[in-house]
Amino acid sequence: PWRFQFFPLILIIFFFFFLLIHVSVIENFQEEPLGQFPHLKQNIRRYLLFYSHYIYIYSIKTI
Q: List per-residue pLDDT tens for the chain, 63 residues long.
A: 566 667 777 777 777 777 777 666 666 555 555 555 566 666 777 777 777 777 777 777 765
In the chain, where are the structural domains located? 7-62
Asked whether 63 and 3 are in contact (CB, 8 A), the reply is yes
Q: What is the pLDDT of residue 33?
A: 54
State pTM to two decimals.
0.34
Let me know how long the chain is: 63
DSSP string, 28-59: HHHHS-GGGHHHHHHHHHHHHHHHHHHHHHHH
Q: What is the pLDDT of residue 10?
A: 74
Q: What is the pLDDT of residue 38?
A: 60
Q: What is the pLDDT of residue 58?
A: 75
